[in-house]
Structure 1
Amino acid sequence: MVGGGQLARMTHEAGIPLGIRFKLLSDTRQDSAAQVVSDVVVGDYRDLETLRAFAQGCDVVTFDHEHVPAEHLRALEAEGVVIRPGVEALLHAQDKGVMRERLRAAGVPCPRHRIVADPADVERFAAEGDGFPVVLKTVRGGYDGKGVWVVGDAEEAAEPFRAGVPVLAEEKVDFARELAANVVRSPHGQAVAYPVVESIQVNGVCDTVIAPAPGLSEELSGQAQEMAIKIAAELGVVGHLAVELFETRDGRLLVNELAMRPHNSGHWTQDGAVTSQFANHVRAVLDLPLGDPRPRATWTVMTNVLGGDFPDMYSAYLHCMARDPALKIHMYGKDVKPGRKVGHVNTYGDDLADVRERGRHAADYLRGTITE
């Protein structure tokens, strides 16, 4: 796996029961996955020779992020390295402009959009629709709210262009909530779909995921799952695909983002599904039969743990575990920094209000924002 973050850490964990030998390309020995994987290569994923040496002896190479240069992946594929998802699929998670045009051509509903050249062009884009505000995104590299701006006029639109990279303009969707459809697809076309979840964002960062999405009609849930499976097949995705969606106030679904790797909106599956997203990603990239995605409980809630001013989270375990023996804590081995994702907790049960409160209390206690 290329990338040493928490997604690689949890994917490695899922491969252990299968006896999978896991090799990691990590930026440093201190990265989340590098702390627990035995076979670690420290190197720069942007360097072709590093990637080439790392791939030797690997049956398959997969990723915990989308940032490996496409030209390097094409070179590896030309040399016979098995890459999953392949570069032609991964490009749609790397480049938002390419993704939008491919989905539009496939008839997948998306927000109104186009590449814009400068602030004046943003103003023209706004005038072509309902005016400002408009959402601007760098076509590459953005995540967790980074590389995304909501601008109210042409003057505010100047900031995204200072980086000198292409900018995508999108209408600001008046959505009721954000959803995510997580699916996994194997090389021979087998696919499984997890329950559609509600994803609650705070300051552009995922805070809470509720599985299944409360109050979502069976019709819309089926549409979201079918849409995600269609996208996976259309783009040739192998492995896990997360399709982030807007549910509009008039009951439509629009695709917001794609991620071709395990995803924050699927972390609940570690404890809430028969087969986790991580285990199914491993199965898919190795072309093994996929596991059952059905939920184990009526409700499962994933609550992200963000860093605060209280660095010693380990001492907080005593309170959290004693208060809630059913609580599942997953920490990433990261240094605690304010606002940084350092772990998550999963709670589950039959009463959604209770499940949400238990998750919120644990995350806040671990962060140090509450003390009792």
Structure 2
Amino acid sequence: MTKRVGVIGGGQLARMMIAPAVELGIEIRVLAEQEGMSAALAATAVGDYRDVETVRAFAREVDVVTFDHEHVPQEVLRALVADGVAVHPGPDALRFAQDKLVMRARLAEIGAPQPDWAPVRTRADLRAFLDEHGGRAVVKTPRGGYDGKGVRVVDHEAGADDWLAAFGGEPILVEELVDFRRELAQQIARRPSGEAVPYPVVETVQQDGVCAEVFAPAPHASDRVVEVAARIAADIAGGLDVTGLLAVELFETTDERLLVNELAMRPHNSGHWTQDGAVTSQFEQHLRAVLDLPLGSSDPVADAAVMINILGGPQGATIDSRFADAMRDQPAARIHTYGKDPRPGRKVGHVNVVGDDLDDAAYAARAAAAFFA
């Protein structure tokens, strides 16, 4: 019998689940927010994911519900569970990805390494934290931030006045400004029966708060870093009862300590390299995991893989017209696009190059991506 997976959200992550679903004989259905989104090929419904009855009607037609993003409200998720719908990851796990203060408190409970942090409600709270942490800190909105949104560095107590006012007395999050050597990401897949498979830890490079480049496996990572990153992800996946893909964004400090920065409970930008660089892509692995099927091998297929994001150029620019030039110039590059209209800074696709030499792969991936700038 064909399994039916329902994905809430019609973005590029849902789009990239379509091909492996077809290969596995899985029927994939998508609840898109509007017509013409990235996953339009599988969009069987269009509606508001915040509306309980809309989501209930969608869920009745599938065997399991999963997500393109973490923004579905808790009351909607819990209504599905009450209806007997299989939801992966479930609401008890997703709340840690939806609220950064809840996440920080739970990570502290399970002993995951993380930056110093505190909830702040007033200027005085923020001033006290700044005084204890060298006069600079990172403030974050607890909910709704992504790709650098809802994050800022402050050096005075008035630096978060607008967010404190917007949250109306509810706390926002302040964290120490970590002096890190580089950013890493560790993915792990976990199925409801408990089997878990990690991917190699990767290095990520950010540009204006958006992931721009990924190097897999992370170059020059010591055996200790590799081991600790995998253990942190396994502890979090088990401790938070995550089902599906979990991405743990990490800071690596100059003395090789690893600190948890962010969590994502879905396929993640840091894992796009797996489409061409791993035995089992993150998208196939996520489908296997949410259906509680045996997980695939996460082994790399070559010594190096590089992913470069294609960030949208000027308004009105086209992407399709540049394919031929990029393909001709860099025949080893695998180009993935999201069906989005370009605008400055918007992720509209990515390029993967897999090979035996990291520098050569990076050169080819950057050269191919440059055709779309």
- Mean CA deviation greater in 19-28 or 157-166: 157-166
Are 2:361 and 1:355 equivalent residues in the alignment?
Answer: yes
Match of 1:142 in 2: 145
Matched with 1:370 is none
Matches of 1:339 and 1:162, distance apart in 2: 28
Scaled by the length of structure 2, the TM-score of the pair is 0.96
Instruction: Give secondary structure in 2 for the equivalent of 1:242.
Output: strand
State the partner residue of 1:113.
117
What's the RMSD between the two structures over aligned residues? 1.1
* CA distance, structure 2, for counterparts of residue 142 and residue 21 of structure 1: 31
Q: Taking every aligned residue pair, what percent have the same amino acid on both sides?
A: 55
Aligned residue in 1 for 2:203: 198
Q: Per the alignment, in what secondary structure is the counterpart of residue 366 of structure 1?
A: coil
| TM superposition shift of 1:119 | 2.2
Name which of structure 1's ranges 111-120 and 304-313 shifts more when overlaid on structure 2. 304-313
- Report the Cα distance in structure 2 between the residues aligned to 1:282 and 1:196, rounded to whole angstroms: 21
The answer on whether the counterparts of 2:130 and 2:155 sit within 8 Å (CA) in structure 1 is no
User: 2:294 — aligned with what?
Assistant: 289
Q: Which amino acid aligns with 1:143?
A: Y
Write the distance in 1 (CA, Å) between the matches of 2:83 and 2:203: 41
TM-score (ref. length: structure 1):
0.96
Which residue of 1 is the match for residue 126 of structure 2?
Answer: 122
Aligned partner of 2:324: which letter? L
Structure-to-structure mapping, 1:1-372, within 5 angstroms? 1-34=7-40, 36-37=41-42, 39-127=43-131, 129-164=132-167, 166-309=171-314, 311-367=317-373
SS in 1 for 2:66: coil
Rounded to whole Å, the distance in 2 between the matches of 1:83 and 1:318 is 41
Aligned counterparts of 2:31 and 2:122: Cα–Cα separation in 1 = 38
- Structure 1 runs (4+) greater than 6 angstroms displaced: none
Could you tell me how far apart the structure 1 residues matched to 2:135 and 2:69 are?
32
> Structure 2: how far apart are the matches of 1:285 and 1:92?
18
CA distance in 2, matches of 1:337, 1:138: 25
Does the 8 Å contact 2:186/2:249 carry over to 1? yes
- Count of aligned positions: 364
Decide whether the 8 Å contact of 1:117 with 1:166 is kept in 2.
yes
Structure 2, unmatched stretches of 5+, are 1-6
Secondary structure of the structure 1 residue equivalent to 2:101: helix
Alpha-carbon distance in 2 for matches of 1:286, 1:75? 20
Q: State the distance in 2 between where 1:107 and 1:312 align.
A: 48
Q: Give the stretch that moved more between structures: 280-289 or 68-77.
A: 68-77
Correspondence for 2:3? none
**Secondary structure in 2 aligned to 1:61?**
strand
Q: C-alpha distance in 1, partners of 2:364/2:331? A: 11
Query: What CA deviation, in whole Å up to 9, does each residue of 1:104-149 have, x standing for no partner?
Result: 011111100011002221111122x223211000101100000011
The worse-fitting range, judged by mean Cα deviation, of 308-317 and 111-120 is 308-317
Task: Tell me the distance in 2 between the aligned counterparts of 1:224 and 1:67.
Answer: 26
Cα distance between partner residues in 2 of 1:356 and 1:40: 38
CA shift digits 1:141-184 (9 cap, x unpaired): 10000001111111223232242263100000000000000000
Three-state SS of the structure 1 residue aligned to 2:8 is: coil
